[in-house]
Structure 1
Amino acid sequence: MRTLLLLVLSMVTVVREVTAQDAQCVLERAAMVETIRSYARSHVSVLGQQGLSGRVLEAMGQTQRHLFIPERSCSIAYADMPLPIGAGQTISQPFIVALMTQLAYVAPDDVVLEVGTGSGYQAAILAHLARKVCTIEIIPQLAAAAAKTLKDLAYDNVSVRLGDGYAGWPDCGPFEAIIVTAALGHVPAPLIEQLKLGGRLVMPVGPAYTTQQLTVVEKTGPGKTTTRAASLVRFVPFTRSPD
């Protein structure tokens, strides 16, 4: 009887600790969304007077970023800064995630490609907005961890593939939007080919380990695109397969 009582008391303590942690995460996440909203007001030249859409802000507020970083700490996860996720890679600053998502103009029935899954956080954000998300990661341990996290959190509309994202994922497309989360000196032609007419590609373009231009490419016709630079950013370099 005493053992049972101790077990019950222990379980109550754990539940209280989990509840307190969940409450902290909710508060930290709400504060993050307000910080993002504030940053958006200072990026009128990029976002326009309308700023970030309610759908994007809602997705940022619903996605548990702390579950996509190794520490799983709310106080760390919801700070507006990039964080290491292992294998020399990072999870992007929340505002940059929101900005890239906004620039992609994802609609509810869209099929979206992400190149550079990382921890799976950007894919989770997109999953709230699109019908289907296809995401490619070249680093095996990151691809496996992201796939597990997304599955555990019931993101059933996300497919994770291990491979070189330069060639895209033709069997999963064509795509209304493509987001690339690593920097390259040019936009890969296969990704443009897999965009639907009117679709958008958002990616950092520029040399590694320095400032790049967050670039938006819109497919306006067969073999035709328009390109604009949206903002200065700094991303990890695009990793290619040695083959």
Structure 2
Amino acid sequence: MNLEQARFNMIEQQIRPWNVLDAEVLELLAVVKREDFVPLAHKALAFMDMEIPLGQGQVMLAPRVEARMLQDAAVQKHEKVLEIGAGSGYMAALLAHRAQRVISLEINPELAQMARANLQKAGIHNVEVRQFDGAKGVSADGPFDVIMLSGSVAEVPQALLAQLKVGGRLIGIVGDEPTMRVNVVTRTSDAEFKTSTPWDTVAPRLLNFPEPSHFHF
């Protein structure tokens, strides 16, 4: 397989048509080698428009979903980012190129180890992967400029919103199948938040986040 051609096709045929037009994001997708973050057994799928299994029931999100979330996060060089759900480390690698520092929480020990190894191999040193239940965040390291949920939740926990700086953004896929929406929640003051829901997608659940009861009496 011609990797560079496959990468170019991924960017031009999947990602750009999905309204990912930020030149810096597109350039980053050309630079960070996605195939190095894909498990060996699935290397051939690295540039396909699909979720890639990581084992333990977890996946890498489709490239266009990752790219658009990265674009919506609008991370700046001076910012500190919290990612929930490290997976293989690919999103953390993308965030690391744009941020000052990234803390990535991964509940699964095998995936945390995989993410660490992949980031080290890629020469990325401003990401700390912690094996940790990310549902509550890490308030001791906050507040954060950006919180990225690399998977879906039924609703955004207040505990995470409380760890945003004023002006900070949380990006996550929220709702239940078949319709989930990307939420971009911006903290506008100590007590106020503004939410936009720019696009729809579907993604597997992050573990241990609360599922509200659907029974109404």
- What is the TM-score normalised by the length of structure 1? 0.81
- Call closer, same or farther: CA 1:230–1:187 in 2, change over 3 Å: same
Runs ≥4 residues deviating over 6 A: none
Aligned to 1:29: 7
- Call closer, same or farther: CA 1:166–1:74 in 2, change over 3 Å: closer
Q: 2:10 touches 2:47 (CA, 8 Å); kept in 1?
A: yes
User: Residue type of the partner of 2:66?
Assistant: V
Distance in 2 (CA, whole Å) between partners of 1:124 and 1:72 is 21
Aligned to 1:223: 191
Q: 2:105 touches 2:132 (CA, 8 Å); kept in 1?
A: yes
Q: Give the superposed CA RMSD.
A: 1.8
Q: Secondary structure at the match of 1:80?
A: coil
- Call closer, same or farther: CA 1:72–1:108 in 2, change over 3 Å: farther
Deviation of 1:75 (Å): 4.2
Aligned to 1:18: none
Deviation of 1:135 (Å): 0.5
Q: Secondary structure at the match of 1:182?
A: strand
Q: Which blocks of at least 5 consecutive residues in structure 1 are unaligned?
A: 1-20, 41-50
Distance in 1 (CA, whole Å) between partners of 2:174 and 2:165 is 21
Which has the larger Rg?
A: 1
Give the total of aligned pairs: 209
Distance in 2 (CA, whole Å) between partners of 1:55 and 1:72 is 30
Q: Which blocks of at least 5 consecutive residues in structure 2 are unaligned?
A: 210-217
Q: Which has the higher helix share?
A: 1
The 5 Å alignment of 1:15-164 reads: 24-35=2-13, 36-40=15-19, 51-71=20-40, 75-164=44-133
Q: 1:174 touches 1:195 (CA, 8 Å); kept in 2?
A: yes
- What is the TM-score normalised by the length of structure 2? 0.90
User: Residue type of the partner of 1:199?
Assistant: G
Q: Secondary structure at the match of 2:35?
A: helix
